[in-house]
């Protein structure tokens, strides 16, 4: 099938399978593996060019490890160095020893037995970290423990690459070139460190000032793939290089913004990677050697659970972490496929052996999300059976980062946003500001205010600011179209969060209310009211007289446009009502028809879109008048309504 039709069919099949998986709450990883088996050369043969798919899949792994690095920091890595070098070393070495012993007992030559030990010792960083990310557990104790072991496995690939030619019977690495290789690794790592301290922060700062999203995204992607390429040139894996690149950018103030830009591409290409793995499996071999495949799967799961559990438990970590590690590391890693392919090409292993190993590897990969889900019930069962003193070692909720809660989130740090931040500071409340201005970020961080450089219209940025735990959200971004998007997304992410939004014209008020804001303030309308107040002050009214009058005007203007009262009122009518709103006065002169009548009687006679807001009597303005207040000749009545009603109201009051 041609490329474009094949891609179209692939997308349609993926939509169906992922929809079904979502309905039954199955992990997306399993869906993509099944889709790969279905559309690959051993299935319906819709996709035959596996190399293209594998290349796209490799991009997915790079982006996945890059985003994981963005979410961590060098300080976090330093905290679990023991896991990397002690736990990782124990897990890899014990797995190689056990698998080598088992395969040697079964009659395999020693070099093949060691080769199988290499293959089984590696686990899938992509699958484990993807599941942890979906659960939001990357930064927990168990998440960092697993990440540390997986990092060591990536480092262990280097000696495996050097030893594999010896197992195959080929000439091993030249020891004369070994010093040159070590020097190359040191040089490239030094370049990365120098770039992370001086070059990359300056570059990101310069790009951020351009306020161009495409330029920022290309810069982030360029850093990711350049560092990955350099580490690969040094003999390390591409995924490890991408992880280091993520750590480098993660140390800067642009990490969250970078993460929000990369996430959509990561999810797409990671899905392609799992699809490419599924395409490798020949189901005919599985059926032919079914009992052997089952035995291989049981052996892999059993051995890797024990070695994973042992490596974590030996470091004195809580039992729940050791159990989860055992279940999480049960699968075969991505790099194992590369090693297995080299073993097949060199005829170290046969095609049947390769496909049997492939079958076991893919099944264990597909089972990983379910095994990780079973870790908690198994832990609960063990805790129920063992003595209480074992439970005392448990420290649930142990995390790398303390999350702020009950704080104020401010989207936009212009004049209004800065005023809100200062008010919150005076009130003793913690603020978390979201804005794209790097200079403002530096100034406010020096004052102790949390600041995220990013676009508040993105879910990842809002989530990072903790709107789910916040006390209130102020949206001070203009124009209103931008504010509307932020309000809608914030309301979806935090249904019960109080949201106060800033609008430009009065017409923005109903739009922001309909988006989910609890309170909306119009700059133009509030400015007009302040001008009106200034004018009244110039005409001799005191502040005590003006403030109640403004309150009455606001109450009348905003009446009918709150979410509760505007459900059945078209937005166009509300906007016209706001735009046409005016304050006009009518004198109740000698012979007025209203003399002796109460305010309540007058209100009953007024048109529905006109309201009495104040009464001017004897040099004083009375804004808070009740329904039984009696009108007199000489009063001046102030009304709120449309200009066309002025004549009608004047005739009602004075008969003229």
Q: Is 6 found in the same domain as 102?
A: no
CATH code for the domain of 294: 1.20.1530.20
Together in a domain, 58 and 166: yes
Task: Band the pLDDT of 326: cuts 50, 70, 90.
Answer: very high
Average pLDDT, the chain: 78
Q: Which domain holds residue 20?
A: 1-40
- Rounded Cα distance between 396 and 380, Å, is 13
The two tokens of residue 124 are 């899938």
**In a shared domain, residues 29 and 75:** no
Residues 55 and 138 in one domain: yes
- 25 and 75 together in one domain: no
Average pLDDT over residues 1-27: 76
Question: Strand 635-641 relative to strand 611-617: parallel, antiparallel, unpaired?
Answer: antiparallel
pLDDT band at 395 (very low <50, low <70, confident <90, very high): very low
Mark which of 358, 391, 424 sits at the end of a domain.
Answer: 391
Selected residue with higher pLDDT from 390 and 324: 324
Residues 152-159, mean pLDDT to the nearest whole number: 77
Domain for residue 185, yes or no? Answer: no
Q: Strands 635-641 and 582-588: what pairing?
A: antiparallel
Block residue for tokens 């480098």: 248
**Residue 594, SS3 per DSSP:** coil
What is the band of 433 on the pLDDT scale with cuts at 50, 70, 90?
Answer: very high
Number of alpha carbons in the 13 Å side-chain half-sphere of residue 531: 7
User: What pLDDT score was predicted for residue 91?
Assistant: 93
The better pLDDT of the pair 134, 132 is held by 132
Q: pLDDT tier at 72 (50, 70, 90 boundaries)? A: low
Alpha-carbon torsion, ordered 263, 264, 268, 269, to 10 deg: -50
- Determine which helix (DSSP H) or strand (DSSP E) holds 450, and give its type and residue range: strand 450-453
The predicted structure's pLDDT at residue 159: 80
**Which of 219-228, 391-400, 506-515, 596-605 has the least mean pLDDT?**
391-400
- The rounded distance, in Å, linking the Cα atoms of 260 and 485 is 16
Same domain, yes or no, for 164 and 312? yes
- Counted domains in the chain: 4
Task: Please report which helix (H) or strand (E) contains residue 389, including its range.
Answer: helix 388-391
What SS3 class is residue 476?
coil
- Choose the final residue of a domain: 391, 423, 455: 391
For residues 164 and 288, state if they share a domain: yes
Residues 290 and 354 in one domain: yes
Q: Of 445, 474, 503, which marks where a domain is finished?
A: 503
Helices marked H in 251-282: 255-279
Q: Is there a domain that residue 99 lies in?
A: yes
Q: Which residue has the higher pLDDT, 392 or 123?
A: 123
CATH of the domain at 648: 3.30.70.1450
Q: Which among 544, 557, 526 has a CA at the least distance from the CA of 622?
A: 544
The answer as to whether 206 is a domain residue is: no
Return the structure tokens found at 11.
């997308």
pLDDT at 469: 87
SS3 of residue 587 by DSSP = strand
What percent of the chain shows pLDDT beyond 70?
80
Above 80 in pLDDT, residue 21?
A: no
Chain centroid, CA 181 distance in Å = 39
Residue 171 has pLDDT above 80, yes or no: no
Q: What is the DSSP string of 300-326?
A: HHHHHHHHHHHHHHTTT--HHHHHHHH
Same domain, 307 and 421: no
Between 512 and 27, residue with greater pLDDT: 512
For residue 479, is the peptide bond before it cis, meaning its omega torsion is within 30 degrees of 0?
yes
Beta bridge partners of 637: 586, 615
627 falls within a domain: yes
What does the pLDDT average to over 426-444?
A: 83
Angle (CA) 182 187 191, round 5°: 150
In the β-sheet with 472-475, what is the strand arrangement from edge to edge? 450-453, 431-435, 408-411, 472-475, 499-503, 519-522
Indicate the helix (H) or strand (E) that contains 502: strand 499-503
Buried b vs exposed e over 541-550: b needs ≥16 C-beta within 10 Å? beeebbebbb
Residue 511 in any domain: the answer is no
Q: What is the pTM of this model?
A: 0.58
Are residues 500 and 518 in contact, defined by beta-carbon separation less than 8 angstroms?
A: yes
Is residue 242 within 8 A of residue 236, CB to CB? The reply is no
């Amino acid at each position: 099938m041609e490329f474009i039709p094949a891609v179209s069919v692939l997308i349609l099949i993926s939509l169906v399978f992922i929809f079904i998986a979502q309905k039954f709450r199955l992990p997306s990883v399993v869906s993509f593996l099944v889709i790969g088996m279905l559309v690959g050369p051993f299935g319906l043969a819709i996709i035959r060019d596996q190399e293209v798919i594998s290349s796209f899949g490799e991009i997915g792994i790079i982006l996945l490890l890059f985003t994981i690095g963005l979410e961590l920091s060098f300080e976090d890595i330093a905290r679990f160095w023991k896991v990397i070098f002690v736990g990782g070393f124990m897990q890899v070495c014990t797995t190689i020893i056990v698998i080598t012993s088992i395969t040697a007992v079964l009659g395999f030559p020693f070099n093949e037995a060691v080769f199988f030990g290499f293959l089984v010792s590696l686990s899938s960083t992509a699958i484990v970290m993807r599941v942890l990310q979906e659960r939001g557990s990357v930064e927990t104790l168990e998440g960092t423990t697993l990440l540390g072991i997986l990092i060591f496995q990536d480092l262990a690939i280097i000696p495996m690459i050097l030893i594999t030619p010896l197992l195959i019977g080929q000439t091993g690495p030249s020891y004369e070139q070994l010093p040159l290789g070590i020097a190359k690794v040191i040089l490239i790592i030094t370049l990365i460190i120098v770039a992370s301290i001086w070059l990359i922060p300056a570059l990101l700062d310069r790009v951020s000032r351009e306020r161009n999203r495409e330029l920022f995204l290309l810069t982030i992607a360029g850093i990711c793939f350049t560092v990955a390429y350099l580490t690969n040139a040094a003999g390390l894996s591409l995924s490890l290089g991408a992880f280091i690149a993520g750590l480098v950018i993660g140390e800067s103030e642009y990490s969250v913004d970078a993460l929000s830009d990369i996430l959509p591409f990561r999810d797409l290409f990671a899905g392609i990677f799992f699809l490419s793995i599924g395409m490798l499996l020949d189901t005919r071999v599985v059926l032919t050697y079914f009992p052997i495949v089952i035995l291989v799967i049981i052996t892999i799961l059993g051995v890797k659970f024990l070695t994973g559990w042992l490596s974590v438990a030996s470091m004195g970590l809580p039992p729940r972490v050791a159990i989860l590690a055992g279940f999480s590391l049960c699968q075969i890693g991505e790099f194992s496929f590369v090693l297995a392919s080299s073993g097949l090409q060199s005829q170290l292993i046969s095609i049947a052996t390769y496909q049997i190993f492939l079958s076991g590897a893919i099944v264990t990969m597909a089972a990983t999300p379910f095994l990780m889900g079973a870790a908690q019930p198994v832990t609960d069962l063990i805790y129920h059976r063992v003595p209480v003193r074992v439970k005392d070692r448990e420290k649930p909720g142990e995390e790398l980062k303390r999350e702020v809660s009950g704080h104020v989130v401010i989207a936009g740090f212009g004049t209004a946003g800065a005023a809100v931040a200062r008010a919150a500071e005076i009130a003793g409340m913690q603020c978390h500001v979201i804005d794209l201005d790097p200079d403002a970020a530096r100034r406010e961080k020096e004052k102790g205010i949390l600041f995220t450089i990013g676009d508040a219209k993105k879910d990842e940025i809002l989530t990072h600011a903790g709107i789910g735990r916040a006390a209130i959200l102020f949206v001070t971004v203009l124009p209103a179209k931008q504010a509307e998007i932020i309000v809608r997304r914030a309301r979806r992410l935090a249904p019960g969060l109080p949201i106060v939004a800033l609008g430009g014209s009065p017409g923005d008020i109903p739009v922001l209310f309909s988006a989910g804001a609890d309170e909306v303030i119009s700059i133009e309308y509030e400015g007009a009211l302040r001008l009106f107040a200034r004018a009244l002050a110039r005409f001799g009214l005191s502040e005590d007289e003006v403030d109640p009058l403004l309150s009455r005007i606001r109450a009348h203007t905003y009446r009918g446009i709150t979410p509760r009262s505007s459900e059945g009122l078209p937005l166009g009518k509300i906007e016209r009502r706001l735009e046409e709103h005016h304050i006009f006065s009518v004198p109740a002169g000698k012979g007025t028809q209203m003399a002796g009548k109460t305010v309540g009687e007058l209100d009953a006679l007024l048109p529905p879109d006109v309201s009495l807001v104040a009464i001017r009597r004897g040099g004083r303005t009375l804004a808070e008048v009740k329904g039984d207040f009696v009108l007199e000749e000489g009063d001046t009545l102030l009304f709120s309504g449309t200009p066309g009603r002025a004549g009608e109201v004047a005739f009602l009051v004075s008969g003229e």
